[in-house]
Amino acid sequence: MVGPSRPQFVLFGSSITQFSFSNGGWGAILSDVYARKADIFLRGYLSWNSRRAVQVLDQVFPKDAAVQPSLVIVYFGGNDSMGPHASGLGPHVPLPEYIDNMRKIATHIQSLSDKTRLIFLTCPPVNETKVRESSSKFLSELVRTNELCKAYAQACVKLCQEMGVKVVDLFSAFQKRDDWMNVCLTDGIHLSAEGSKVVVEEIMKVLKEAEWKPSLFWKSLPTEFAEDSPYDLVAADGSKTLNGSDWIIHRDIMWD
Task: Evaluate whether 12 touches 43 at the Cβ level (below 8 Å).
Answer: yes
Among the listed residues 14, 15, 70, 81, the single catalytic one is 14
**Residue 25 and residue 192: Cα distance in Å, rounded?**
7
- 14 catalytically annotated: yes
Edge-to-edge strand list for the sheet holding 117-121: 39-44, 8-13, 71-75, 117-121, 166-168
- 246 catalytically annotated: no
240 Cβ neighbours under 8 A, 6+ residues apart:
234
Among the listed residues 80, 92, 169, 190, the single catalytic one is 190
Query: DSSP letter at 146?
Result: H
Q: What is the DSSP string of 180-222?
A: HHHHSBSSSSSB-HHHHHHHHHHHHHHHHH---SS--SGGGSP
Among the listed residues 32, 39, 100, 187, the single catalytic one is 187
- 187 catalytically annotated: yes
**Residue 22 and residue 97: Cα distance in Å, rounded?**
31
Catalytic residues: 14, 187, 190
